Each structure stands twice: as C-alpha cells, then as structure tokens.
C-alpha cells in the first residue's frame, strides 16, 4: 500500500467524523477520496460512495433514534419518492449515460469527467448551503410542527436523482428541507436526515449490483473505518459547535469544488 492509498483510508475516518459532527458532508468527501486518492473510476466510486455513506449514516442514526431525535413521519414522506428515484437512477439512468457525453471540435467531455464536474457543481451548492446564515430557519424551528407534504415529496424525489447520479447522500439538501417544510428542530432534522440518507443510499447501491463488480475486500474495510469515524464525530459534537464547524467545512467544500472543475476541465 503506497502513501496515497494510506491517505485515502485515513480520509475514510473523516467521512464518518463529518457525518457525526454536522449530520452531512460525508458524501462530499467520499467521491474525491475514492477517485483522486484511491484511483477508482468515477462511475464505480459513485456506487461505492452510496454503500459507504449509507452504512455510516445508518450507524449514526441509531444514536439519534435512542434519544428520540428522529421524526419517522417526515422520514417516510421524504424517503418514499427518494427511494424510488435513486434506485431507478442507479439501475437505468447512470448506465444509459453515453460515453463520451459530447464533442466540441477536438474538445471531448467523457462520462467520467461529466460526472465529476456535475458532482463539483453539487459541491458548490452544498458549500453555499453550509456557509450561509440560517437565521430564518432558526426562527421557524420554534413553531409547531407543520408538514408541507407535496414539497417534502418533491424535494425527496429530486434528492434521490442527485444521489443516484453522484453518489452523494444529500444531507446538505435534506436538512434545510426538513427544517423549512416540517419545522423540525435542528437536532431532530439531523437525526432524521441520517436515517433518510442511510436508507436511500443503500437502496441506490442495490440498483448497482447488477451493473458493476463490487470489490468487497476493499469496500468493507473502508466502510468500517468510516463507521468508526462517526462515533468519534458524535463524541466531538458534545464539545464543538456544529454551526461554526459547518461554515468552516463549507469553505473547504467550496475550494474542493473549484479544484475538481479546474482539474477535470482544464488539466485532464
């Protein structure tokens, strides 16, 4: 195992730490780690990311369940359309994406490059969500729970498609949606988000099993390290302000997104 691979496995712990601390962001790290540090193709990496983030989130959600910080009604309304779209996306849409995507004169955009650039754009959206102030959401948290079912379902379906394409759990989209459309308190939104991420990511991964060969000898140890990270992240969350950390992580994600676009488009 070379130094880059060692860094890749060490980074797997940070994926879990991120999920434990802020309830999201782990999937934003997973794809770049798999692609750039472990040299796994983007298409395979998106599948592996679903399994890693799904299993890690599932373990993380268990502690929130024990504390009764999961709203199962919100999770169900969000999850049903999300389950459907993520499975269909992984089963049919991703394999159907042409390679190359398109050519402009001598400039070619391959399927792998297209996935990475699309993922980078999602990172930029995620960074904005993490960096911006959330004063309006905090004000709504104090109100009575009120479910906007159509909007929750619509958001669930859209997040499922995004998850299916790039292998990202979508916590940066799920948490604001739960706060806005159900008025859940932030901690309950985080717990509910982890359960949703776990279920839809693992269902999305099932859609891949007939399309790819899974290297379980690599995937299981990597996932185990990520799961260990979520215990560390949950412990550290008692001492670190999640909101401040989220902003710092948001700036990191912003830089990473710009780096990926620059690398894939201009230096490939």
Domain chopping of the chain, boundaries: 3-266
Choose from 10-14, 84-88, 220-224 the range with maximum mean pLDDT: 220-224
Give the pTM: 0.77
CA 163 to chain CA mean position, Å: 7
Q: Please give the C-alpha separations between residue 70 and each of 20, 39, 246, in angstroms, as whole numbers.
A: 15, 37, 21
148-198 pLDDT, tens digit each: 778 888 888 888 888 888 766 677 678 777 877 777 887 788 888 888 888
Q: Residues 6 or more apart from 41 whose CB is under 8 A from it?
A: 35, 112
Section 90-115 average pLDDT: 82
Q: What are the DSSP E strand ranges found in the chain?
A: 102-104, 107-109
Q: Is the peptide bond before 219 cis (omega within 30 degrees of 0)?
A: no
| Cα gap 102→238, rounded to integer Å | 49
Q: Kindly report the CA angle at 226 between 222 and 227, in degrees rounded to 5?
A: 115
Section 83-97 average pLDDT: 86
> Which of 39-48, 119-128, 142-151 has the weakest average pLDDT?
142-151
| Cα gap 258→30, rounded to integer Å | 16
204-259 pLDDT, tens digit each: 888 888 788 899 999 999 999 999 988 888 788 777 766 677 777 778 888 888 98
| Cα gap 4→1, rounded to integer Å | 8
Q: Residues 6 or more apart from 86 whose CB is under 8 A from it?
A: 160, 161, 163, 164, 200, 201, 203, 204, 207
């Amino acid at each position: 195992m070379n130094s880059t691979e060692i860094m890749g496995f060490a980074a797997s712990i940070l994926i879990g730490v991120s999920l434990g601390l802020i309830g999201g962001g782990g999937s934003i790290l997973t794809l770049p780690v798999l692609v750039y540090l472990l040299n796994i193709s983007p298409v395979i990496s998106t599948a592996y990311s679903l399994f890693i983030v799904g299993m890690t989130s599932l373990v993380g959600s268990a502690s929130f369940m024990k504390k009764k910080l999961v709203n199962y009604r919100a999770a169900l309304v969000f999850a049903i359309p999300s389950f459907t779209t993520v499975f269909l996306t992984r089963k049919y849409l991703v394999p159907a994406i042409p390679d190359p995507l398109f050519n402009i004169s001598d400039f070619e955009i391959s399927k792998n490059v297209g996935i990475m650039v699309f993922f980078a754009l999602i990172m930029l959206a995620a960074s904005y969500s993490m960096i911006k102030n959330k004063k309006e959401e905090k004000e709504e948290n104090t109100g009575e729970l009120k479910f906007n079912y159509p909007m929750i379902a619509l958001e669930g379906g859209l997040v499922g498609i995004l998850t299916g394409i790039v292998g990202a759990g979508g916590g940066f989209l799920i948490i604001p949606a739960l706060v806005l459309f159900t008025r859940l308190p932030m901690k309950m939104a985080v717990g509910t988000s982890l359960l949703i991420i776990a279920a839809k990511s693992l269902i999305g991964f099932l859609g891949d099993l007939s399309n790819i060969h899974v290297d379980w000898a690599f995937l299981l140890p990597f996932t185990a390290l990520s799961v260990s990270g979520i215990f560390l992240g949950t412990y550290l969350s008692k001492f670190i302000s999640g909101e401040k950390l989220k902003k710092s992580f948001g700036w990191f994600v912003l830089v990473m997104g710009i780096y990926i676009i620059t690398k894939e488009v201009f230096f490939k």
